[in-house]
Amino acid sequence: MTDSYAERYTASLMNTFGPPKLVLARGEGAHVWDVGGNEYVDLLGGIAVNALGHAHPALIEAVTGQLGTLGHISNFFTSGPQVELAEKLLALLGKAPGEGKVFFTNSGTEANEAAFKLTRRTGRTQVVVAEGSFHGRTMGALALTSKEAYRAPFEPLPGDVTFVPYGDAAALAAAVSGATAAILLEPIQGEAGVVVPPDGYLAAARAVADEHGALLWLDEIQSGMGRTGEWFAHDPAVRPDIVTVAKGLGGGFPIGACIGLGDAGTLLEPGNHGTTFGGNPVACAAALAVIRTIEDEDLLEHVTVLGHKLRDGLAADPRVTEVRGAGLFVGLDLSADASADVAAAAQRAGFIVNNPTPRRIRLAPPLVLAEDDVNAFLAAWPGILDEAMGAES
């Protein structure tokens, strides 16, 4: 980061993220370059956002073409891309138009805000959520997020939220009652460091929800849209009532969606909720381009194959105690609290990774990541750990 940009950033932007690690100038595929001309392999993908990497021709064509045709129109009107995207998202969830309905937003937290309000339309208020969850930073979504450091400065938050241990079906069953509006779960927890629940956990949640007449709400904001090698991380046999998506949906163009399935799609009525930019034809065209490219380039299979290679390679070092995830959604635990040092050493070696906890590393690279990039990272990995942790084994 140049001194000039560092000083100007500090002087002109709110300090909500801490100092930037780099000033980036351009990107291509899974690679980015900083203003000094240094190249990095982007293994974070804007936190699971850049599904097609940087400057993908299909995304550029979709955005520029749509903006040159019809830009913002407000939600007094609709457009072809908006309707086509809603139909496509329902189809990816195995539903036909009429079997579910979509509310478009600008981000994941706004998708969860819409879903949170939707649950209140059941006439119940309690939402049962998992410990380790992250659902956003707006006030409603923050109330559903478990991390104390995020929540405490802004309390009191919207109430009647009960937290239970993630993956513990018995604890979930004990917390849900006839007062529960919804159970909210991530099929794979992202912010916690890519945590995968035990087999059968989501099916058990479905059964508990059915027993008490509650909704099952799955937050697929990080895990959805091909990230795991499937369109969604949850087992299609598990029937959610609400699915929220964002991040990879627009491939870098801001868009999110709250998808209500079955009767849940009709709970919000005119005047209950709104958005200025959600469903914008440009954002919807971008999302359609992302989905079509994933289909046309067979990226789900690519993600599955490359993900196996990446996870196996990372696990080979004894300083890595556990590797989790699916597809290109990867979390690993280190043998010491050194994740910040590992992330810094990786950056010096030309790789961008994320350290969500002191001992965990998270990877969520573009779905177009090349095998050569995985090979290069795995070759550099032992040296990165040597620099950050020493040669303990």
Query: Contact at 8 Å (CB) between 193 and 358?
Result: no
* Residue 206 marked ligand-binding: no
Residue 219 in marked binding region: yes
The answer to the question of whether 109 is labelled as a binding residue is yes
* Distant-in-sequence, close-in-space partners of 141: CB < 8 Å, separation ≥ 6: 109, 112, 113, 116, 135
Is 219 known to be catalytic? Answer: yes
* CA 207 to chain CA centroid, nearest Å: 25
Is 247 one of the catalytic residues?
yes
**352 known ligand binder:** no
Catalytic choice (42, 103, 219, 253): 219
Q: Is 275 annotated as a binding residue?
A: yes
Q: Distance between terminal CA atoms of the chain?
A: 34
222 is in an annotated binding site: yes
Q: Which residues contact 244 (CB under 8 A, 6 or more apart)?
A: 108, 111, 112, 114, 115, 217, 218, 219, 220, 221, 256, 257, 258, 259
255 is in an annotated binding site: no
Q: Is 294 annotated as a binding residue?
A: no
Tell me the β-bridge partners of 260. 101, 242
Query: What sign results for the dihedral spanned by CA atoms 342, 345, 346, 352?
Result: positive
Q: Are 291 and 283 in contact (CB under 8 A)?
A: no
Q: What is the dihedral of CA 99, 73, 280, 259, to 10 degrees?
A: -20
- Tell me: is residue 221 an annotated ligand-binding position: yes
| Separation of alpha carbons 341 and 322, rounded Å | 18
Catalytic residue chosen out of the listed positions 104, 247, 253, 373? 247
Query: For the stretch 290-314, what's the b/e string if a residue is b when 16 or more beta carbons lie within 10 angstroms of its beta carbon?
Result: bbebbeeeebbebbbebbeebbebb
C-beta separation of 307 from 323 below 8 A: no
Candidate list 103, 104, 116, 134, residue with the active-site label: 134
Is 104 tagged catalytic? no
- Tell me: is residue 293 an annotated ligand-binding position: no
Enumerate the known binding-site residues for pyridoxal 5'-phosphate.
108-109, 134, 219-222, 276
Enumerate the known binding-site residues for N(2)-acetyl-L-ornithine.
137, 275
Enumerate the known binding-site residues.
108-109, 134, 137, 219-222, 275-276
Which residues are the active-site residues?
A: 134, 219, 247
